Amino acid sequence: MNQIIYEMINDQAFPTPFCPGCGHGILMNAVLRAFAELEWDLKNTLFVSGIGCAAWIPSPHFKADTLHTLHGRAIAYATGAKLFNPGLKIMVISGDGDLSSIGGNHLIHAARRNMDMTVVCANNSIYGMTGGQVASTTPLGSLTTTTPKGNLERPFDLCRLAEAAGATFVARHPVATPIPLTRTLKKAITHKGFSFVEVLSPCPTQYGRRNAFRSAFEMIQGLKSTCVSVEKAKGMSDEELAGKVVVGEFVS
Amino acid sequence: MKESVGKKKKTAAIHLNKKWCKGCYICLEVCPKKVFEKSPEVSEKGFQPVIVAHPELCTSCLQCEMLCPDLAINVEKGE
Amino acid sequence: MQYKKVKGPLAPGWYFMQGDEACAEGALAAGCRFYAGYPITPASEIMIRMVHRLPELGGAFIQMEDEIGSISAVIGAAWAGAKAMTATSGPGLSLMIEALGYAVITETPCLIVDVQRAGPSTGQATRPAQGDMMMVKWGAHGDNEIVALSPWSVQEMYDLTVKAFNFSERFRVPTFLLADEAVGHLRETLVIQEEVEVFDRVKIPGKPPFGTEEVNGVPSMPAFGEGANLLVTGSTHDPWGFRKTQDSVVQARLTERLIRKIRDFKSEVIETDSHLLEDAEIGVVAYGFTARAALAAVKTLRKQGVKAGLLRLVSIWPFADEAVAALGKRCRKIFVPEMNRGQIAGELAKFTPTPVIPLPKTNGEVIEPAEIVEGIRRNQ
């Protein structure tokens, strides 16, 4: 491993509080690798997060300025910090419910403004920290504690939402493919303007167990088989694409 | 240890941090060469971590290192 | 303490301004260089003044998508090093309450101006009230010690804004300027001095940013981008910012210090203004725009042979408990005219056994001197 990664973390915060096999841990790994490969000095980088498991990715694990805020509000706090000190590089790392449900308004306005920041949305399709409630990204039919008979609501396509709101870099990758994920994260970090990266990051504990995944590895396998790259999807019919998730860079 | 004809290969060195490993076994399942096995011991946090059972089989694909949620695996690439 | 004199951005002299405008100028004089806000009657004029003035002074301005976004951006900017503020009214403040608690536990200096209007809820947007006095102290969940000042003139809309900023920096706490629609939209003359006294937050490299050895200390506050690797969080935390959500010693120490760092030094904040109190038998306690009518009422009562006197509260929180107790010892009754149903009157009763008679008025209009005189004469 790039030795720099070990210099970018607060040792005393490890082992992490994440569940065994948590996708967010793999995402943390990829984010650190992206900054390490860019040889990025974290001194002027600010990590902002909301509330939820994903929000604990930077705080307190990264040895950098971290701002752990309120549920849904990370992007608004980040906006204030960036405007007063434009020299800061801002990365928001937070969850799908945090960023698109309670925080949806701040997300679309920051995208509209093309605020210069990178938003990494760790999408596990559930509210994990509070025990597994349905989220704005939970697939139709999924079992959660608040949809015990199966989710009746359609989920957001977060990338289409961000794109429609005006984001100038939009991408999606699963944690199952860490190399393209890291490559995209590097592009998002160096992008000038509002970059949005949705990362499919499985929750084996709250989502997996309730929806017939027997292990974290099975969820990683599942992502590999349902994700299809943008390029490949172009040559596929609607029937072939049913049940698939298209991943890659959509706006750049 | 496997040897190529006429050359001695440097094997990958896989450093496993037993204190950080939570026994999720993603590395064990994903490794194409079955380098990892479950440890018979329980760690101080109550997990059953992995052990690097067959480092000589490692091809330095780095999938274990990149997919470890706990930064517990550090692979020094072999040749 | 580290007060220093700086030259304000406006040339010294007499000015004729609206209260809201004077508030904006006071903020700029105190060093405010970040404003995030959302339109709301009757506070929008503060925002409009800021959008013109901040770029002239190298500051930053943004109109956010809602009040929650506004106060969030203010707190983010404060941690990037800014003296930051927002201005709103009751309905907007209600939305900011969660963030207020966040600012309290993270010890973020910032100013929130509440130009109060008739409520509850949407109420009467263009009408004055003083209904948010308790909300700023008790609105956020948990225990909060905050600073709130109440201006009664356009001059004080300027001066007390400067003071409020200074207290926020001195105590690392969100502070409030509790104005109302009457003083906010009032136009009056004010004098602007060449220099203002300002307090800048204390920054000591190497010191923990979220704890002190003293049980009532205010920690050092670095900014983002200085290599401090700040761990700002709304969860209970240790002096270095690490989350400690299962540690009862840390929780006890933090909650006590957040209160005592202000309460133990409340004499620095508490300010009252006395009129005709030396031989008063009837006490009147008032604040904000209502105090203007109360002063006139007291003078009228004196002419009528009633020994009345006014204790004006300039600071609302921390509460002037000793001044009220002293007043109670001197007077046989205390009257409290206010544009609410008795919020401060109820607080007074905690500190004096002397009968406290509220004179509430909540019809969306200011209280007139004759109404106070009548209320006192009827209940003497």
Q: Is B26 on the interface with A (CB under 8 A)?
A: yes
As a whole number, mean pLDDT of residues B7-31 equals: 91
The stretches in chain A having pLDDT less than 70 are 1
Is the pLDDT assigned to residue C2 strictly greater than 90? no
Tell me which residue has tokens 């040749």: B79
Q: Is C72 on the interface with A (CB under 8 A)?
A: yes
Q: Do A109 and C231 touch (CB under 8 A)?
A: no
Whose CA is closest to C116, among C38, C17, C20? Answer: C20
Q: Is C58 on the interface with A (CB under 8 A)?
A: no
The encoded tokens of residue C271 equal 């300010």
Structural domains in chain C?
Answer: 3-199 (3.40.50.970), 273-379 (3.40.50.920)
Domain residue extents for chain B: 13-76
Phi, then psi, of C61 in degrees rounded to 5: -135, 140
Chain B neighbors of A219, CB-CB under 8 A? none
Q: How far is CA C357 from each of CA A196, C351, C373, rounded to the nearest angstrom?
A: 59, 14, 13
Residue C241 C-alpha, separation from nearest chain A C-alpha, in angstroms: 8
Chain A neighbors of B20, CB-CB under 8 A? 14-16
SS3 assignment, position A64: coil
Helix, strand, coil percentages for chain A (3-state, nearest 5):
40, 20, 35
- The string of DSSP codes covering A16-61 is PSSPTT-HHHHHHHHHHHHHHHTT--GGGEEEEE-SSTGGGTTTTT
Option in A68, A69, A88 nearest C224 (CB): A88
- pTM exceeds cut of 0.90: yes
Phi, then psi, of C20 in degrees rounded to 5: -60, -40
**What CATH fold (topology level) applies to the domain A17-251?**
Rossmann fold (3.40.50)
Whose CA is closest to C116, among C145, C147, C151? Answer: C151
User: How many angstroms separate the CA atoms of A28 and A6, rounded?
Assistant: 12
Query: In CATH, what class is B13-76?
Result: alpha beta
Q: Is B38 on the interface with A (CB under 8 A)?
A: no
Is the pLDDT assigned to residue B16 strictly greater than 60? yes
Q: Which residue of A has its CA nearest to B23?
A: A20
Whose CA is closest to A230, among A208, A201, A252? Answer: A252
CB pairs under 8 A between A and C: 125
Judge whether C182 and C208 are in contact, CB under 8 Å: no
Q: Is B32 on the interface with A (CB under 8 A)?
A: no
Domain residue extents for chain A: 17-251
Share of chain C above pLDDT 90, in %: 99
Q: Do A20 and B23 touch (CB under 8 A)?
A: yes
Q: Is A172 on the interface with B (CB under 8 A)?
A: no
Question: Average per-residue pLDDT in chain B?
Answer: 90
Q: What is the reported pLDDT for B1?
A: 45
Judge whether A233 and B45 are in contact, CB under 8 Å: no
Q: What is the reported pLDDT for B3?
A: 46
Is the pLDDT assigned to residue C256 strictly greater than 50? yes
Question: What is the per-residue pLDDT across A2-61, written as a single tens digit (0 to 9) for each?
Answer: 788 999 999 999 999 999 999 999 999 999 999 999 999 999 999 999 999 999 999 999
Instruction: Report the 10 Å Cβ neighbour count for A159.
Output: 22
Q: Which residues of C166-177 are buried (b: 16+ CB within 10 A; e: fewer)?
A: bbbbbbbbbbbb
Q: Is C95 on the interface with A (CB under 8 A)?
A: no
Phi, then psi, of C330 in degrees rounded to 5: -85, -35
ipTM score of complex: 0.95
- Side chain identity at residue A240, one-letter code: E
Chain A neighbors of C96, CB-CB under 8 A? none
Question: Average per-residue pLDDT in chain C?
Answer: 97
Chain A neighbors of B22, CB-CB under 8 A? 15, 19-21
Residue A229 C-alpha, separation from nearest chain C C-alpha, in angstroms: 35
Question: What is the per-residue pLDDT across C70-125, written as a single tens digit (0 to 9) for each?
Answer: 999 999 999 999 999 999 999 999 999 999 999 999 999 999 999 999 999 999 99
List the Cα angle C104/C105/C110 in 5-degree steps: 35
Q: Do A15 and B45 touch (CB under 8 A)?
A: yes
Q: What is the reported pLDDT for B7?
A: 57
Question: What is the per-residue pLDDT across C158-216, written as a single tens digit (0 to 9) for each?
Answer: 999 999 999 999 999 999 999 999 999 999 999 999 999 999 999 999 999 999 999 99
User: How many angstroms separate the CA atoms of C367 and C290, rounded?
Assistant: 6
Judge whether B72 and B26 are in contact, CB under 8 Å: no
- CA pseudo-torsion sign C267, C273, C277, C282: negative
Q: What is the reported pLDDT for A3?
A: 83
Q: Is A53 on the interface with C (CB under 8 A)?
A: no
Instruction: Report the 10 Å Cβ neighbour count for C239.
Output: 17
Chain A neighbors of B72, CB-CB under 8 A? 15
| Window C:8-37, CB contacts with A under 8 Å | 33-34, 36
Q: Which residue of B has its CA nearest to A9?
A: B71
